[in-house]
Amino acid sequence: MRTVITETPAEAAAFIRNGGLVAFPTETVYGLGASVFDETAIKKIFEAKQRPDDNPLIVHIGELEQLRELGENVDAAMPLIRAFFPGPLTVVVKKAARVPLAATAGLDTIGVRMPSHHLAREFLRACGTPVAAPSANLSGRPSPTTWQAVLEDLDGRIDCILKGQATEIGLESTVVDCTADPPVILRPGAVSLEMLSKVVPGVRLASMDPLKPVKSPGTRHAHYKPRASVVLIDDSDEIPVTPEIAGYIGLEHPAVNLTLSKVCSSVEEYASSVFAFFRDCEAAGIQTIYCQTVATSGIGAGLMDRLRRAAS
Ligand code: TXA
Ligand code: MG
C-alpha cells in the first residue's frame, strides 16, 4: 500500500469515507483514524498498529451533537464536557448500541473526545462521521508527535497522513471514567487533577497498582518504549561520569557531556518534547536515556506516568 501524504483535510477525509485509515494531527499526539461505524476499517487499525485487540479506541468528534450517536447516559459527563471540550480530555460513558464492539474492545463503555486542533477539526467535519483513533504509532512505541514519526512507524501500512506541525502538548489526552461516581482519572494528561477537581470535586486518580484489575485496559500493555533503555533519575548528577552512548532529558543542565541532551525550560516543554527525544535517541544509536523526574502536579502527573511506563 502506498501512503499518501497530504496537507488538505478534505483529501484525507475522502479516505475515511471510503473505509481507509488516515493519520492526523491533534493538539496531543497524532491519531490513526477510521470511521467508527465501519467494523472492517476498525479492524484494519488494530492490524496496522499491531495493537492487542483488548485495548479500546478513543472516538473523536467534530461536533458535540455526535456524542448522542456514540454514548448513552451522558449527563454525568456534561460538566466536564462543558469545561474542557474541545481539548485534551476523553470522557468514558456508556456506549450506544450501534457502536461496533470492535471499537470498544468488547466493553459496554466508550471513550469520546473532541480535539481543539484546527486541522483535526476541519478533517473531522469533512469526514462527517465520528472517527475512532488511537495514537498513530506501532503498538508499544513512543506516541508520534510529528508526521515524520507516523511515517517511521506506519509507512505502507496506512492509506494517508494528514501532515501538520509537531503537536503542541505531546502527551495523550486525560482519560476520565464518567460512569464512576465520582469520576475516576484512568490516564493523566494535560487536563490535570487540579483542573478536573474544580469542576467535579472528588475526582481521583485510578490506582496504578499493576496487580489490581484495571478499567482502562490500554494501561496494562507495554507503552512508550524506545529501542533504548530508559532510566529515571531525580538529579542530573546521578548520570555516571563516563556514560556509554547516552542521552538525557530533564529540567537541569547535566554535569557530564552526553551524545544527546535536551534541557527543558518547563514541565510543559518537557512533556511536549519527550517522545520526539526518544525517537531522536534511537536514530543516534543511543543505548540509555536518562530522564529527570518531575513533581506530579499539573501535567507533571501525566509526564511521570509516561516516563515510569517507558522505564518499566
Ligand atoms: O490524545 C489522545 O487521546 C490520542 C489522540 C489521537 O486523540 N489518542 C490516544 O489513543 O492516545 P490510544 O488508543 O493510544 O489510547 C487510548 C486509551 C487507552 O489507554 C485505552 O485503554 C483508553 O484510552 N480507553 C479507550 N476507551 C476506553 C473505555 N471505554 N474504557 C476505559 N478506557 C478506555
Ligand atoms: Mg497509544
Distance (Å, whole) CA 276 – CA 35: 28
CA of 116 to the centre of ligand 2 (A): 19
Query: Is residue 87 lining ligand 1, measured as CB closer than 6 Å?
Result: no
Q: Are 173 and 58 in contact (CB under 8 A)?
A: yes
Ligand 1, atom 5: closest residue by C-alpha: 31
Scan for cell 484512568, then name that residue. Answer: 186
| CB of 109 sitting under 6 A from ligand 1 | yes
pLDDT (0 to 100) of residue 241: 82
Alpha-carbon distances of 218 from 134, 156, 174, 180, rounded to whole Å: 10, 25, 13, 18
pLDDT string in tens for the chain (312-residue length)? 999 999 999 999 999 999 999 999 999 999 999 999 999 999 999 999 999 999 999 999 999 999 999 999 999 999 999 999 999 999 999 999 999 999 999 999 999 999 999 999 999 999 999 999 999 999 999 999 999 999 999 999 999 999 999 999 999 999 999 999 999 999 999 999 999 999 999 999 997 655 555 666 666 677 788 889 999 999 988 998 876 789 999 999 998 989 999 999 999 999 999 999 999 999 999 999 999 999 999 999 999 999 999 998
SS3 38: coil
Nearest ligand to the CA atom of 142: 2
Tell me the C-alpha to C-alpha distance, in Å, between residue 227 and each of 14, 54, 82.
35, 24, 40
CA distances from 281 to 74, 142, 227, 287, 289 (A): 43, 12, 9, 8, 8
Query: What does the block give as the cell for 25?
Result: 494531527
What pLDDT does 226 receive? 84
Q: Residue 225: which residues within 8 A CB-CB, separation 6 or more?
A: 140, 141, 142, 310
For position 208, what pLDDT does the model report? 67
Q: What is the residue with the minimal CA distance to atom 21 of ligand 1?
A: 218
Please give the Cα distance from 249 to 252 (Å, whole number): 9
198: CA distance to ligand 1 center in Å?
Answer: 23
